[in-house]
Structure 1
Amino acid sequence: MRQQVKIKKVLNNNVVIAEHPSYEEVVLIGKGIGFNRKAEDEISFDKADKTFLLSNEKEKEQYVNLLPYVDERLIDFMNDVLVHIETRMGQELNQHIHVALTDHLAFAINRAKKNLQFSNPFLLEIESLYPKEYQIAMEVVTMIYDKMGIQFPEGEIGFIALHIHSAVTDKTLREINRHNQLISKLVSLVEETMDVTIDKNSVDYHRLVQHLHRAIDRVYQSESLGDEIKLANMLKQEYPVCYNLAWKLIKVMQKQLNKPVDESEVIYLTIHLQRLTHKS
Structure 2
Amino acid sequence: MKIKKIYNNNIILAEDVGQLEHIALGKGIAFNKKRGDVIEKAKIEKLFVIKSDQTMNQFIQLLNEVPVNQLELTNKIVNSAEKELQTKFNDIIYIGLTDHINYAIDRFKNSVPVNNALLWEIKRFYPKEFQAAMHSLELIKYYENILLPEDEAGFIALHFVNAQYDNEEMTRTIFTTEFIQDTVEILESHFKIQIETNSLNFGRFLTHLKFFINRILDNELEEESDDPYIYEQVKKKYSEVSSCVDDIAEYTQKKFHQPVTVDEKMYLTLHIQRLIK
> Displacement of 1:44 after TM fit?
3.6
Mapped pair 1:57 → 2:53? yes
Correspondent of 2:171 among 171, 174, 192:
174
Mapped pair 1:35 → 2:34? no
Mapped pair 1:69 → 2:69? no
Counterpart of 2:232?
229
Question: In 1, Cα distance between the equivalents of 2:195 and 2:66?
Answer: 37
Counterpart of 2:95?
99
User: 3-state DSSP class of the match of 1:138?
Assistant: helix
Post-superposition CA distance 1:116-135 (Å, at most 9, x none): 22222222322333333222
Structure 1 letter corresponding to 2:235? A
Counterpart of 2:12?
16
Counterpart of 1:141?
137
> Displacement of 1:138 after TM fit?
1.6
Task: Name the count of aligned residue pairs.
Answer: 268
> Displacement of 1:154 after TM fit?
0.9
Question: In 1, Cα distance between the equivalents of 2:264 and 2:128?
Answer: 26
Percentage identity across paired residues of the two chains = 31
Unaligned ranges ≥5, structure 2: none
CA separation of 1:55/1:13 partners in 2, compared to 1, >3 Å: closer, same or farther? farther
Unaligned ranges ≥5, structure 1: none
CA separation of 1:22/1:252 partners in 2, compared to 1, >3 Å: closer, same or farther? farther
Matches for 1:83-162 after TM superposition, within 5 Å: 83-162=79-158
Structure 2 letter corresponding to 1:94? N
**Contact 1:122–1:184 (CA<8 Å) still a contact in 2?**
no
Task: State TM-score, norm by structure 1.
Answer: 0.77
Correspondent of 1:185 among 172, 182, 186:
182
* Structure 1 segments (4+ residues) deviating >6 Å: 271-276
Task: State TM-score, norm by structure 2.
Answer: 0.78
Structure 1 letter corresponding to 2:129? E
Mean CA deviation greater in 27-36 or 174-183: 27-36
**Contact 1:88–1:136 (CA<8 Å) still a contact in 2?**
yes
